């Protein structure tokens, strides 16, 4: 077995980390979708779409 070199990836993905990244990606999708809208529209969309995603992120 050889030593891991600096910057070399081991190839192991932790399920909890993958789940967190997927949840954060969903939040970024919401933000991309509301880009260019008014402040009030963004706030309404965040309350409707982002709030449930954030609740899932904390679970």
Q: Does residue 5 sit within a domain?
A: no
The single-letter DSSP state of residue 5 is: P
Residue at 9 is within a domain: no
- Within a domain: residue 2? no
Q: Is residue 3 part of a domain?
A: no
Q: How many domains does the chain have?
A: 1
Specify if 10 maps to a domain.
no
Distance CA 39, CA 37 (A): 7
pLDDT at position 57 over 80? yes
Termini Cα distance of the chain: 38
Give the structural domain span for 37: 15-58
Q: Per the domain annotation, does 34 fall within a domain?
A: yes
Q: What integer pLDDT is reported at residue 6 of this predicted model?
A: 72
Question: Is 24 within a domain?
Answer: yes
Across the chain, what does the average pLDDT equal? Answer: 90
How far is residue 13's CA from residue 26's CA, in Å, rounded to a whole number?
A: 19
pLDDT in tens, 33-56: 999 999 999 999 999 999 999 999
- Let me know if residue 8 belongs to a domain: no
Q: What is the value of pTM for the model shown? A: 0.72
Tokens of 12: 């192991």
Q: How far is CA 18 from the centre of its chain?
A: 10
């Amino acid at each position: 077995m050889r030593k891991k070199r600096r910057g070399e990836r081991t190839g192991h993905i932790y399920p909890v980390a993958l789940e967190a990244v997927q949840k954060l990606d969903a939040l970024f999708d919401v933000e991309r979708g509301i880009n260019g809208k008014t402040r009030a529209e963004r706030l309404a969309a965040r309350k409707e779409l982002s709030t449930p995603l954030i609740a899932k992120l904390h679970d």
